Amino acid sequence: MMHLPLQGIVVLEFCQYLSGPSAALRLADLGARVIKIERPGTGDAGRKLAIKDLWVDDSSLLFHTINRNKESFTADLKNEEDKAVLYQLIQKADVLIHNFRPDVMGKNGLDYATVQKFNPKLIYAEISGYGKKGPWKNKPGQDLLLQSMAGLAYTTGNGSNGPVPFGISITDIMAGSQLVQGILGALIRRQKTGKGALIEVSLLESLLDFQFELLTTYFASGQQPKRSVIANGQPLLGAPYGIYETANGHLALAMMDLHQLADTIGCADLKTFAKEDAFAKRDEIKQLLVDHLLKNETNYWLSLLQDAGLWAMEVMNWDELTEHEAYRVLKMEQEITVNNHAISTTRCPIRIDGERLLSAKPAPQLGEQNETIRGELIAGS
């Protein structure tokens, strides 16, 4: 069995929904023991977050996928006896994660300054919506709202349409990933110096960092990047970059020389544009491609483009993707079992020494490990 890099590290997760739990999930995949601290009776609000009414046992499918490989311990943060137990757990922990509003942990005596007294070597990692200061600090840290406020929705979709959000919770996942990076860096520093750390990530800052390419251009020019009216792929890139409809599907075209593209697909009208027109006249060029590519099927165009070494791919749905050998060879799926109910989900995308990181351990029932944790980590139990 592989010796995972975070084996022996104890993580206390005071989190709900997606951002914090996704960070703790990655730490668990890397070998950490993650103990999810949940409210008695109801637990993480994500347990009841239904997606198309998909439920397993008494919790949502989403909860099971993002909280696999963890343990659950129930404690009431407002109860002094429970809080005393939590302080004992904190003394044994290496990492504490939370994604509550900035004032919640402080009101309950679990802020960094307080818990550091119990464990000076603790890595205390928190995700807020908009940071601890400023007029937005108490706004709801919800993914769609952040995409809208941070300008990300104005990078997606065609310029002839309104703003379009990503179809996934990109803000939560990005923030969780960046929190993991901060935690791993702090653990390395602690190994060298013995010092704990306060790691702070906000959803807004994560999303701004995600847009660094566009924002850097904006800072330099003072102008808002403009999306293509037709086949927008990336606001900073010229034609043909984008997705186009064919006679039987869709085709993605990346960066390529316009004249080489014209010769390859037999579109002589493209030759009327100079190579430097790729950005300045991109919508005119893209309209030509829209009309031309509808004349034949995706595979016909792909064979021409790929034989010429041009960057083009078919646009797949999940049925098409999962049936493809290129997907199957990755073995990205794993199965977990909850009360005899099998769930297929994705595995950790990291490989270590050539080995995939798999865990069949399902998400815990609420308070499932209370007795085990009391016996192992809490004095006097």
Where in the sequence numbering do the catalytic residues fall?
A: 172
Tell me how far apart the alpha carbons of residues 241 and 255 are, in angstroms, rounded to a whole number. Answer: 6
Report cis status (omega within 30 of 0) of the bond before 165.
no
Those residues whose C-beta lies under 8 Å from the C-beta of residue 339, and which sit 6 or more positions away, are 56, 57
**Biggest CA pair distance of the chain:** 83
Residue 377 in contact with residue 88, Cβ under 8 Å? yes
> Residue written as tokens 């840290």?
141
Give, in order, the Cα–Cα distances in Å from 90 to each of 87, 95, 185, 203. 5, 8, 20, 25
Question: How many angstroms separate the Cα of 94 from the Cα of each of 61, 84, 302?
Answer: 29, 18, 52
What is the C-alpha separation between 233 and 284, in angstroms, rounded?
A: 15
Dihedral pair phi/psi, residue 8, rounded to 5°: 95, -10
